[in-house]
């Protein structure tokens, strides 16, 4: 089974989705399950995990509503205020939702480089293991130092780094990102998504060979059991088609064994998210 471990849905609203700038104008519209189901049928993808794009409980409820109405959406990564004093009660409220698999905060948008290791955020994360929830880490490379300290606090909590920590592929920056990714990967409860890469390169001129060094590092650091394919649809559409995001990964892993390829393209996501 091929599972896309990372995609989004939204009903486009200019204010709510102001992060979609003029360079991304072609995704200023609604993206809903009917759209993705058609894309999946054309690209041989069986299932997906829907990930939050807005930081509200209404977003979590919206994604769960879509997931419960569409069987191919096997899991949801929602948002809850992990800094809230009542976070435990909020998590408990969602515990009966079988498709709710984990949570994410848009840490990349936080001005504080050390946001992940604030006391109130650490307290919120400490409740996740109790409910068997995972946590998606969305960061930029300058936040990898804090991420390393963050994961050290929770050796039994399942984490996954989204979009290989968004290295600045367009600018060719590599070394600092690589050093810290290798350190983070030494913690075997941390996984990594091969996702969101074509949009970190130049939208119009990217080539696979520009991205391969970054994928190579992730493969070497995390191994075939802790990486998973994700498209970042529909955001990936600003730099190509869905097929481009998928083929980038399938071509890259084509020399691995059949079982390793199956793990990266679906089985790892099934195990990580308990789909």
Collapsing DSSP states into helix, strand and coil, what is residue 167? Answer: coil
Length of the chain: 275
Phi, psi of 264 (to 5 degrees): -65, -35
- How many independent structural domains does the chain possess? 1
91: CATH: 3.20.20.140
CA dist 230 and 222 (Å) reads: 16
pLDDT in tens, the chain (275 residues): 999 999 999 999 988 888 889 889 899 999 999 999 999 999 999 999 999 999 999 999 999 999 999 999 999 999 999 999 999 999 999 999 999 999 999 999 999 999 999 999 999 999 999 999 999 999 999 999 999 999 999 999 999 999 999 999 999 999 999 999 999 999 999 999 999 999 999 999 999 999 999 999 999 999 999 999 999 999 999 999 999 999 999 999 999 999 999 999 999 999 999 99
Residue 206's domain spans which residues?
A: 3-273
Task: Report the alpha-carbon distance of residue 125 to residue 165 in Å, rounded.
Answer: 19
Interatomic CA distance for residues 183 and 260, integer angstroms:
23
């Amino acid at each position: 089974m091929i599972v896309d471990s990372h995609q989004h849905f939204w009903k486009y609203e200019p204010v709510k989705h102001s992060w979609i700038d003029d360079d991304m104008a072609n995704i200023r519209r609604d993206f809903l399950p009917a759209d993705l189901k058609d894309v999946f049928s054309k690209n041989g993808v069986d299932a997906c995990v829907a990930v939050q794009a807005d930081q509200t409980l209404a977003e979590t409820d919206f994604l769960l509503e879509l997931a419960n109405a569409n069987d191919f959406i096997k899991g949801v990564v929602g948002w809850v205020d992990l800094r809230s004093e009542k976070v435990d009660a909020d998590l408990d409220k969602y515990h009966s939702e079988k498709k709710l698999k984990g949570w994410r905060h848009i840490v990349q948008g936080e001005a504080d480089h050390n946001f992940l290791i604030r006391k109130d955020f650490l307290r919120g994360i400490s409740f996740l293991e109790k409910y068997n929830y995972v946590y998606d880490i969305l960061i930029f490379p300058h936040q990898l130092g804090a991420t390393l300290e963050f994961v050290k606090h929770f050796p039994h909590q399942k984490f996954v780094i989204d979009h290989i920590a968004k290295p600045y592929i367009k600018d060719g920056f590599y070394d600092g990102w690589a050093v810290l990714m290798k350190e983070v990967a030494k913690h075997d409860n941390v996984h990594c998504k091969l996702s969101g890469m074509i949009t970190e390169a130049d939208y119009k001129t990217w080539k696979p060979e520009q991205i391969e060094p970054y994928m190579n590092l992730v493969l070497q650091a995390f191994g075939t059991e802790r990486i998973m394919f994700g498209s970042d649809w529909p955001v990936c559409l600003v730099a190509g088609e869905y097929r481009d995001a998928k083929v980038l990964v399938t071509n890259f892993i084509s020399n691995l064994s059949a079982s390793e390829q199956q793990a990266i393209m679906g089985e790892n996501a099934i195990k990580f998210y308990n789909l």
